[in-house]
Amino acid sequence: MFEAVEDDAGLFGSGDIASRPASGTADGDFYNVLDQAGQIFRIDRWSSTNAAWMVGLHKTTSDPGASDDQASGYFIGTIWINTSTPEAFVCTDATPSLAVWISITSSSGAPDATESVKGILELANQAETDAGTDDLRAVTPLKLKARALSGGQLGGTVGTPDVRGLRETGGATLLTYGAIADTEILTRVGTTVAGSTLTEAGIAGFDYAFTSKDGPFIATNNGSYEVKAAFRFRGTDTVGNINVIKAVANVTGASTGSVRLFDFTNGLQICEKTGIADTIPTIQDLGTVSNLPTGDAIIEVQMLVGSGKIQVASVVGEVT
């Protein structure tokens, strides 16, 4: 396997160990140690640093051990071949009595890889990647992409998330999470969700921005409330008790105007702000909130002005 060539420049000779010269002349000089059959079983290399012959290649019928160290003539990089296995080893540490040899022909001598140690690591298959429970195998980008494109989560179960301020806009749910129901997403203050109790104030129970085919303004001079927009409200049993409702509103070409929220389903006024005189969009507190429905209902945004125009750009109800 490692046959010496007689005319190699560094070859210092061949023969039994007793015939080996006491020293070489330069680093890299090597001597072929022959067995009784005349076959090379060891190649020694002269080391000027150590002033000794060091074993570069050793062929035998056993594995190396901790005592096969620098004191015995081995050095980092020495190759050891067990011809009966067969298996080859390389010395990675020649410290006396603590020599370390690593197999270079099988995985038996290499450690398993960890987060801090380099070593052997197996790749996960697609099923193991999908399960997401194996911490011993590596996931490849291709298998991770396949899992993501399948729309699945990586193992485990999903509990109800602690999602605060989620809302429905324009009649469509802003966020859905798996099969979680709307009643779990919009959870009122004081209710436990996934082990956490929501106690913060200022959570949006609803948040709506409005447009219409006639633009954001309603022009009227009949002194009666007109419907600007309508939206679905899921009820206080779902979104919590809303005590503050605000609107962005202003008038133009009018002295004052009014805005109110009206429960169309149950025929009840919820809140009202009168005397709006701001000529630029301004946040208006719509006053005392009452008659909020506990269940599903259609809520109307109504506006009134004696002359000129009034607009509402958005309405926000806060869970407090």
Is residue 1 situated within a structural domain? Answer: no
Measured distance CA(279)–CA(287) in Å, rounded:
20
Mean pLDDT, range 227-254, rounded to an integer = 85
Residue 281 sits in a domain whose CATH number is 2.60.120.260
- Is residue 93 included in any domain, yes or no? yes
pLDDT digits (tens, 9 = 90+) for 38-79: 777 778 877 777 777 778 888 889 999 999 998 888 888 888
Query: Residue 91 pLDDT > 70, yes or no?
Result: yes
User: Nearest CA to 192 among 224, 225, 159?
Assistant: 159
For 146, the enclosing helix (H) or strand (E) is helix 141-149
CA distance 72 to 64: 12
Going 63 to 67 to 72 to 74, the CA torsion angle's sign is positive
The answer as to whether 24 is a domain residue is yes
- Residue that is last in its domain, among 52, 82, 109: 109
Q: Which of residues 65, 87, 109 is at a domain's end?
A: 109
Domain boundary among the residues 109, 142, 163 is at 109
**The total number of structural domains that make up the chain:** 2
Pair 128, 144: CB distance under 8 Å: no
The most confident of 241-245, 266-270, 281-285, by mean pLDDT: 266-270
Q: Is the peptide bond before 86 cis (omega within 30 degrees of 0)?
A: yes
Domain with 298, as residue range(s), is: 205-319
Angle 222-223-224 from CA coordinates, rounded to 5°: 95
Is the pLDDT at 9 greater than 50? The verdict is no
Hunting for tokens 């921005």 — which residue is that?
Answer: 209
In a domain, 153, yes or no: no
Q: Which residue has the tokens 């389903």?
A: 265
- Answer yes or no: is 121 within a domain: no
Helix, strand, coil share of the chain (percent; to 5): 10, 40, 50
User: Considering only CA atoms, which of 233, 238, 283, 237 is closest in space to residue 262?
Assistant: 233
Which amino acid makes up residue 148?
Answer: A
Rounded to the nearest 10°, the torsion over CA 127, 130, 133, 137 is 60
